[in-house]
Amino acid sequence: MAGMGMAAAAAWDPCRRWGRMAVSFGFHRSFSALLARKPQHAPRRRPAFRQKTSISFLSRPDLPHLAYKRLKGKSPGIIFIPGYMSNMNGTKALAIEEFCKSLGHAYIRFDYSGVGNSDGNLQECTVGRWRKDVLSVIDDLAVGPQILVGSSLGGWLMLHAAIARPQRVVALIGIASAVDGLVTKFNQLPVEAKKEIEMKGVWSMPSKYSEEGAYHIQYSFLKEAEYHCLLHSPIPVNCPVRLLHGMEDDIVSWHTSMQVADRVISKDVDVILRKHSDHRMKEKADLQLLVYTIDDLIDKLSTVVN
């Protein structure tokens, strides 16, 4: 980790109340300080009008229309980027929405092409197309600077968005970030298994999160995804990065978040590990940690965006 430009080794800060460990890279106010500052109550709440969010659609020439829900509000705005085959109505997406309502901050959640209420054929979708979806949301829906919150696959796509839109993306929060995830899993298979998948044209990847017990991933999807891998070289992201990960995640190892922390060139990086959390990180304490992290970044950025 010497390549991260640290003047001192990463410090592990166990916190009994949260059941997690925090690894801080850089010299900003740590998450431990935030917990000490707000030990017994929820993040600051300000009076705000209760907004009802209805589904809207973003029309794009030659691309599928994207379903989204948006709250108007203050900057920086927050955009939630869901995981593989997940939609905008998940537990984390809704928890962030309620939090943004309480603060009066702008918020957008959306469905990828071919998923949920968005148009498009899932069989034709790729990591590259979903990357375009994220950029469309930033370019055509969001106003001003944005904090991106990416879950699983969304943690991969948020990095691509930060690289492509460095003036708009002011901070990143990854939840069990699956950077290069599907490609890495495929490459770990035996040679014989990979050849069989290539012949069949589809990989039935076992998953306890699929109703069928497996996700059926096109071989062409995997090959296209290889063009978007990031962990093989330094990742040109300079904004603050917070990476949350459960140590009981059996889908994406928490070591992936450590790799991301090592690869991004930003000096303002925290990895926060929860000892007993799984891949979805949707238990009450996980959601508390998530909104505290958003709250902390809003505080940190307020002097920049105001």
Torsion of CA 271, 275, 281, 287, to 10 degrees: -80
Q: Do 49 and 103 meet the contact criterion of CB atoms below 8 Å apart?
A: no
Q: Any residues with CB less than 8 A from the CB of 61 and at least 6 apart, and which?
A: none
Whether the bond between 166 and the residue before it is cis, its omega within 30 degrees of 0, is: no
From the candidates 151, 279, 286, 296, give the one annotated as an active-site residue: 279
75 catalytic per annotation: no
152 is catalytic: yes
Say which of 133, 249, 270, 286 is annotated catalytic. Answer: 249
DSSP code string of 271-291: EEEETT--SS--SHHHHHHHH
DSSP letters spanning 191-229? HHHHHHHHHHTEEEEE-TTSTTSEEEEEHHHHHHHGGG-
- 30-67 as b/e: b if 16+ CB within 10 A: bbbebbeeeeeeebeeeeeeeeebeeeebeeeeebebb
∠ at Cα 23 (278, 295), nearest 5°?
A: 75
Helix H or strand E segment including 181: helix 181-187
Query: Out of 75, 113, 151, 152, which one is annotated catalytic?
Result: 152
Residues involved in catalysis = 152, 249, 279
